[in-house]
Amino acid sequence: MLLSIQKVSKAFGGLWALRNVDLDVEEGEVLGLIGPNGAGKTTLFNCITGYYRPTSGKIVFQSVDIVGLPPYKISRLGIARTFQLTKGFNNLTVFDNIRIASLVSGAALKDVWEILRLVGLEEKKDVYVGSLTLIERKKLELARALTIRPKLLLLDEVMSGLKPSEADEILKVISDINKKGVTVIIVEHVMRTIMRICKRVAVLDYGVKIAEGSPEEVMRDERVIKAYLGEEFVA
C-alpha cells in the first residue's frame, strides 16, 4: 500500500468539505476519483499535498503520517500534483520552464531531457510558453510535476478543455508515466477517460465517499447514478 487515507475530514467553518473519507491506493495503480463539482476531490488533493491540514484523520504515505507536514516536505517524499489551471513562465522556453522546476527539485539535466521525451515536448523545447496550445500547456504541467521524480502523481482534471483526440494523446502520456512505475490518482469528469485508464474508481459526493470499485461496478451503483451520472459527460 503506497497511500492510506484514514477517516479524513476537512471543515471550513461550519462547512464540511470532507467527512470520514477512507481510501487506500496501491503502488503502481491508476485510481480514478470522480464526483460532482464541489464533492471534495480537489480538497482531498490539497490535504494529501499539505496545502490543507485535515480537521481530523490520518494520511499515511509509505508508512509515514504526512498530516501537518508542509507541501515542500511532502513533495520531497515523492508526491507531485498538477492543477486545474495551467501556469508557466510565458516569456521563457519550454526547456527553461522545466529546467527551473528541476533546479528546485534537484533533478539532473539528463532528467529534463528524459521528461521532455516522455511528455512529447522534445520538439517544442525552444518554444516560448506563451505561444503554446492548451494541450502543450497540459503536457508542460505534467513535465514540471515529473521533475521531482514522484512515486505518486495527483492529476486534477488534466483533460479539461481538450478535444477527444487531444485527451487520447494525454491519456497515452499518463499511461507511459504509469509504466515508469509512477502511481497515479486522476480526478476527471470525462467518463470515457476513466473507463479506459482506471481499473478502480472512488466516488465522492458532498465530501463523503459513496462508492468504490471497478468503473463498471461504480457506473451501475444507484447512489452514483443519482448523485453524479445524471450530469452531462463527454462520451
Q: What is the pLDDT of residue 85?
A: 83
Q: Please check whether residue 82 is in contact with residue 141, taking contact to mean a CB–CB distance below 8 angstroms.
A: yes
State which amino acid sits at residue 173: V
Residue whose C-alpha is closest to residue 189's, from 203, 169, 176: 203
Of residues 182 and 37, more confidence is placed in 182
Give the number of C-alpha atoms closer than 13 A to the C-alpha of residue 159, restricted to the C-beta side: 25
In percent, the amount of the chain with pLDDT more than 70 equals 97
- What is the reported pTM? 0.92
Average pLDDT over residues 103-121: 88
pLDDT band at 24 (very low <50, low <70, confident <90, very high): very high
Q: What does the H/E/C string look like for 56-101?
A: EEEEEECCEECCCCCHHHHHHHCEEECCCCCCCCCCCEHHHHHHHH
Average pLDDT over residues 16-27: 97
Cell digits of residue 23 = 481510501
pLDDT band at 230 (very low <50, low <70, confident <90, very high): low
State which amino acid sits at residue 51: Y
pLDDT band at 227 (very low <50, low <70, confident <90, very high): confident
Distances (CA, A) of 119 to 116, 137, 160: 6, 11, 17
- Please write the tens of the pLDDT for every residue from 47-82: 999 999 999 999 999 999 999 999 999 999 999 999
Which runs of consecutive H residues, i.e. helices, occur in 88-214? 94-105, 109-119, 134-146, 164-179, 191-197
pLDDT at 232 over 60: no
CA 220 to chain centre: 25
- β-pairing, 3-12 vs 15-25, is antiparallel
Q: What is the pLDDT of residue 103?
A: 85
Cell digits of residue 161 = 478543455
Average pLDDT over residues 184-204: 91
Q: What is the pLDDT of residue 91?
A: 94
Average pLDDT over residues 172-178: 97
SS3 state of residue 34: strand
Q: What is the pLDDT of residue 234?
A: 34
- Please write the tens of the pLDDT for every residue from 85-102: 888 899 999 999 999 988
Of residues 4 and 220, more confidence is placed in 4
Average pLDDT over residues 144-149: 94
| Per-chain mean pLDDT for the chain | 92
